[in-house]
Chain A
């Protein structure tokens, strides 16, 4: 890249980084400020004519007291889904990294490939699988796991399952990246020293895969906590998450200030969690 250095002088790095920096500053950082000012504005305005900034902190108190159940529900659903993703994702990532042999690349492509079918279409197909008269519900009823009129669709189970399904690849890829880096000889050495498979997992593999676990849980939890597609398509009015509320406040109610306040609260919670989590796990080089 020294040639570019000659063309642009010694500041060539700034010419290269410039477009990305400017774009993100204008369309990511600046909007965040805009969100913040909107959240402190008078709700009496309208989307077309704008809102007056009156430093109305009350928006936040109102948002919390009116919508806290949605917030709590989002965190719980996203938390359970992340945990399920961790278990399922770890199994698959481990199998690809250590057991797949020459099928490694094929299996990796297969992990990403479902993405190419629109995720809305895929989520809708769960509606069919979990339907009340579908084979899954009927066989579960036959096995008495579900009651006579028990159902799966439009329950919290369906929402959590949908979240797990949709964000699983985001868990698998970082897990695979960190598992793949582990030298298999470490595992062999532990076996030579008479450790059981379980000990080898807890003392060798798991500690070395922590960066992947941290990366994967963040990449799963963050989008899951803001999602409203799954709860809208697979849930019922009592499974609505904070994303549903923000969305309807913006588009249907045109109550931008309260919606913005709710967005800011979600963002603050997530940033706080990310910082806490990354610091505890000791992988500050994640950034």
Chain B
């Protein structure tokens, strides 16, 4: 049974990683047309260094993703605190309304944003992209941090207060440190949502300002070179590193009270 399970797991991993590995390998192949036999070369990485458009789009993607992660994590965490620790009118309605945006097709959200931003004068460009990405990421943050909250017992803060903490001190001394792995996870999630985002970015990008997915998409339409594989590989390694660092630091479930 365990043998079968191992084979199954291996099959899933192969299924998940083969296309990515092939993509990465092709970035190191001499041929522009992805022809075999494979002959190792770094020429596409060298070429990439001169491809200002791709590099700039990649940079934009990372900047937008980082800012989105910071803003949405702050806003989402605050919302999460209110939703899990306070009672107020319309709370359950708000909680309910947070979920549909995750399920609404991005094409629809994107169209709605484009129309709304045009109508309200916000327009397109970096700021519009940021607003869009933050709006998209917040529900994920609220979900992830909210789950983290549910593992922290409310009586920990009460214990702190009985020992002389004001509610604010109790929050910073007890709840926030315990919540930290969830907040970090949520930030990473928001970063990934933003980095991944194509549809909304495509709608809100301007000819002078676009993100990597948008740039790759237009490159594919125009005919492309393995430079795309090269930048994708770099980006992939960057995200993987971030996730591994997170896993190392957060040790999910380790510091939390599991009782």
Do chains A and B interact in one complex? no
Q: Which residues of A contact B (CB under 8 A)?
A: none
